[in-house]
A and B are shown apart, each in its own frame.
Chain A
Amino acid sequence: MSGGQPTRPRPLATFRSRSPWLPLVALTRANLRLLARNRQVMVFNILVPLLLIVIFGGLFQGSRTSVDIVAPAADAAILRQALPHSSFRVHEVSAATARRQVLNNTADFALVITGTGSPLRVRIEENVGNVTENAAFSAAAEGALFGLNQALLHTAPAVIPSVSQLHPQGGLSAGTLANANYINFLTPGILAYAVLTAGLSAGIRLVGDRERGTLRRVRATPIPVWAFLGSSIISQLVLVVVQVVVLLGVGHVMYGVGIGPSPALVVLLLLIGSLCFLGGGFLIAGIASREQSSIVLMNLVTLPQLFIAGIFYPLAGAPAWLRELSVIMPLKYFADGLRALMAQGQGLGAVTPDLLTLLAVGVAVMVVAARIFRFEPASAGS
C-alpha cells in the first residue's frame, strides 16, 4: 500500500436502467454463451446433422460415377439433350427391352416421356427389388431424375415426374417421386430435423435449469416474463442461423447443395419452423418435471418423426399407412416445405400449406405451453 489519499472503495454495483431491454440483452448474451459452451448442443444440434449430411451424401452420391438410363428411341434424343452430364448414360432401346434391362439389372432405370407438352411428363421405371435392396441405387436414380428436372427447368416451366416400380412378376406400382437427387433430398430434411431437435432440446435445458433452481433465481429478479422468453427465442434463432450456415455451407461446398431461388421464403419457413419447435420445447418443459423425463419425451417426439416424416427417404414409395401416419408429423411439413423451396425450386404457392400447418401447430403449442409452463420445480416449499 502506498501512502497518500485513501482509496475510495469501489461500489458493489451501479444503477444503469429500468429498461427491460438491458436484462433481455444480458440474458440473450448469456444464453448464447451457454449454448456455445454446451457440448451436447454442439454435438446433437450441429455435429450429428452435419455428419448425416456428409456421410449419407458421400455414400449415395459418391458411390456411383454414372447411371445407365434406357429409353425408347423416340425419347432418347430429348433425354440426352436434357441430361448432358456425363454421369447419365442414355441408351436407345425399345420400351420392352428397357423394362427387361431394368428388371435384370443391366440398366439402372428406364425413362419414358409420357407427355411432351408443358409441363413435361416423365415416368421413371425402376426395379422394385433394387429399390428396396439397394438404397444407393434408388438415390442415384432419383439423382438422375433430379438432373433431368433441373435441366428441363431451363427450357420448360416444370416437369412432373412419376415413378413406376417394375416387379419381376410383371406388375407395376406407380407413385410420385420426389424429384431431387439424394443429397438435395436429404439436406433440407436433415436441416429440418436439426431445427426440430434444437427447439425441443431448448425445452430440456429449461427443465434442467428449473430442476436446479436456476429459473427461480432468475425469476427473483425484475426481468419481465416476456423478456425472459424473448431471450430464449432470440438465442434459439441464432442457433438455427448457425445450423443453417454450417449444414448448408458444408452441403454446398461438398455436394453443391443450394438454397433454391427463393431465399426469403426459406428464411420465413425456417423462422416459423424454429418457433413452432421451440414452442414444442416449451411444451415439453411444461409437461416434464424432471430433466430425465423431458429427454424421454423429446425422444418420443423426435424419433418417430425422424423415420416417418420422410427425412431419409421419400414417402412416395412408402406403404399407405405410413404416408397417412406422416400427416400428423409437423416435421414432415417443415421438411417438405424446405425441400420444395431448396431442392425443387418451387414458390410460395407450393409451400403455403406447409407454412400454414407449421404456423397453426406453433401457435397451438405456444398457447398450451404458456398455460402450463412454470418456473418452479415440481417439489414445492418447506
Chain B
Amino acid sequence: MPEGDLGWLIPWAPRGKDPQFRRRRDQIPAGSGAPRPDSAGPAVWVRGLRKNYGPVLAVRGIDLEIRRGQIVALLGPNGAGKTTTMEIIEGLRRPDAGEIKVLGTTPAQARRRVGVQLQEGALFADLTCTETLTLFGRLYGFEANPKTLLELVDLADVAERRTERLSGGQKRRLQLALTLCNDPELVILDEPTTGLDPLSRRQTWAMIRGLHDQGRTVLLTTHYIEEAEQLAVWVYIIDAGMVVAEGAPTTLITELGAAATLSVAGGRDAQLETLPGVLRAEYSEGRWELQGKEVGLILTALNQRLGEAALRDVSVRPPSLEDVFLARTGRHIATEPEA
C-alpha cells in the first residue's frame, strides 16, 4: 500500500463486491417453504406494544410495520427493549398491551413459518450439530437438510461434533443455521453477530443478504451501527422502550445533515483546526477529532501534513446512525463491533 494514501480508510466501501459475500449469497438454496407469491400485508405488524417487568418499563408503546421481503433492523443500545419486542413477536412473551400480527396471524400460529435466533438460545450440549439441526427441523414439522445448512454457515467440518465442543462463534453460526431448519418465510435474528469475529460477522451479513435475495423477510436486532447500516433497508431506532426514529438508514442520515468525524493521533501543535473543510476540531488525550462534511478535502489536506506534523493513525467515521441516535436521545449508542 503506498504510503500516504489514506483512501483505504474510508469504511463505506461498495457492498457486495467481496467475492466471498457473493458466493455465500448465491449458495443459499430455495426450499419448499419459500414465501408464497400470494402473501399480502406486512410480515410483522405491531401497534401500541407495551411490556413491563415489575416496575421496569421495558417497552413503552412501540409500533412496527415490517414489509415482506425486506431486511429490517431494530437498532438501539443494550436494555432499549429490542429483545423484549422480538420475544413478543416470537410468541415467547405476552405483552401487557398492544396488537401483534405475524405473517397475518398470531405469533403462536405463525411459529411454523418463522425462523428464530434467540440472543442466548442455548443448544443441547450433548447433541452433535447434525443431530441438533435434525431435531429442530422436526420440532417444526420439517426434515432439515443438515449438510446443506452446515455448509451454509461453514460448519460442515464439525458436523458430527457435539455442540459443547464448538467455539462461541461456531455456536452462533449453528444457531443461525437453526433459524433455517424450517425453511422460514420470516427470519428473526436477535443480535446475530454478537460474539463473532470480523470474518464470521461478514459471512453472516452475506448470508442474511442471501436470505433477503430469496425473498425472505429478515427482522434483526443489533446494537452495532455498522450492521444496521450495512444490512437493513429500514431501521427502527429504539431507546428506553420507544421508537425514536425510523426510516431508511441513508435517509435518516441525510435528513440529519451530520458531518463525518476524522480521528488523528498527533501533537497539539499540529493546529488541524485550520485545515480546509474542518467545521469543528477538538484535541484530547493525544488525538484530534475533526468534523466536516467534505471528507475528501480534509483527507487531502491531512495527507499533505502527515510528514511535517508527525501525524499517524488516521481513522474516518462517516455520519452514521450513531449521529441520528445522538441527535434524538442526546446519548451515544457507544458500541463498536467486538473483534
Contacts and interface: CB of A to CB of B under 8 A. Distances in A.
Co-assembled chains A and B: yes
Interface of A: 9-19, 22-23, 25-27, 29-30, 33-34, 37-38, 209, 212-214, 216-223, 375-376, 380-382
Contact of A15 (B116, B123, B142, B162): B142
Given A14-B142, A220-B91, A375-B92, 13 more contacts: A11-B30, A11-B31, A13-B32, A15-B33, A17-B141, A22-B141, A26-B135, A27-B139, A30-B127, A213-B122, A217-B136, A220-B118, A380-B53
Contacts of A381: 51, 53, 58, 83-84, 87, 93
Interface in B149-167: 149, 152, 162
B149 A16 contact: no
Nearest to A30: B135
29 contacts: A9-B27, A9-B148, A11-B29, A11-B145, A13-B137, A14-B142, A15-B142, A16-B142, A18-B112, A30-B127, A34-B126, A34-B127, A209-B124, A212-B120, A212-B125, A213-B120, A217-B116, A217-B178, A220-B91, A220-B111, A220-B118, A221-B182, A380-B53, A380-B93, A381-B87, A381-B93, A382-B82, A382-B84, A382-B119
A212 B178 CA distance: 16
A380 B29 CA distance: 36
A1 to B, nearest CB: 14
Contacts of B124: 30, 34, 209, 214
B167 to A, nearest CB: 17
Contacts of A37: 126, 162
Contacts of B181: 12-13
A296 B143 CA distance: 40
B84 A216 contact: no
B143 A13 contact: yes
Interface string B246-262: 00000000000000000
Nearest to B114: A220
B237 to A, nearest CB: 16
Contacts of B329: none
Nearest to B109: A222
Contacts of A19: 141
B49 interface: no
Interface of B: 27-33, 51, 53, 58, 78-84, 87, 90-93, 111-112, 116, 118-127, 131, 134-145, 147-149, 152, 162, 178, 180-183
Could you say which of A12, A22, A212 has the most chain B C-beta atoms within 10 Å of its C-beta? A12
A18 B112 CA distance: 9
A25 B78 CA distance: 39
Nearest to B142: A13
Q: Which of B111, B140, B147, B181 has the most CB of A within 10 A?
A: B140
Contacts of B120: 212-213
Contacts of B83: 381-382
Nearest to B113: A222
A106 to B, nearest CB: 59
B141 A33 contact: no
Nearest to A11: B31
Contacts of A217: 116, 118, 121-123, 136, 178
Looking at A22, A30, A214, A218, the one whose CB has the most chain B CB atoms below 10 A away is: A30
A98 B136 CA distance: 72
Most buried by A among B31, B81, B119, B141: B141
B173 to A, nearest CB: 15
B100 to A, nearest CB: 15
A342 B116 CA distance: 51
A376 B92 contact: yes
Nearest to B147: A10
A18 B183 contact: no
A246 B201 CA distance: 50
Contacts of B51: 381
Of the candidates A11, A13, A37, the one having the most CB atoms from chain B within 10 angstroms of its own CB is A13
B259 to A, nearest CB: 32
B137 to A, nearest CB: 5
Nearest to B88: A381
Nearest to B83: A382
Nearest to B121: A217
Contacts of A218: 139
B145 A12 contact: yes
B144 A12 contact: yes
A339 B84 CA distance: 53
B122 A214 contact: yes
B159 to A, nearest CB: 14
A130 to B, nearest CB: 49
Nearest to A375: B92
Contacts of A11: 29-32, 145, 148, 183
Given A27-B135, A33-B126, A382 B58 contact: yes
Nearest 6 pairs of A and B residues by beta carbon: A9-B29, A26-B138, A212-B122, A217-B121, A221-B139, A11-B31
A190 B190 CA distance: 47
A195 B24 CA distance: 51
B139 A16 contact: no
Nearest to A377: B120
Given A19-B141, A23-B139, A381-B87, A12 B183 contact: yes
A13 B111 contact: no
Contact of B139 (A14, A18, A222, A382): A222
B141 A220 contact: no
A209 to B, nearest CB: 8
Contact of B116 (A14, A17, A220, A223): A220
A222 B111 contact: yes
A12 B122 contact: no
A214 B30 contact: no
A220 B88 CA distance: 11
A29 B118 CA distance: 24
A222 B84 CA distance: 20
Contacts of B84: 381-382
Contact of A12 (B125, B149, B162): B149
Contacts of A13: 31-33, 137, 140, 142-145, 149, 180-183
A376 B87 CA distance: 11
A13 to B, nearest CB: 4
Contact of A9 (B30, B112, B180, B182): B30
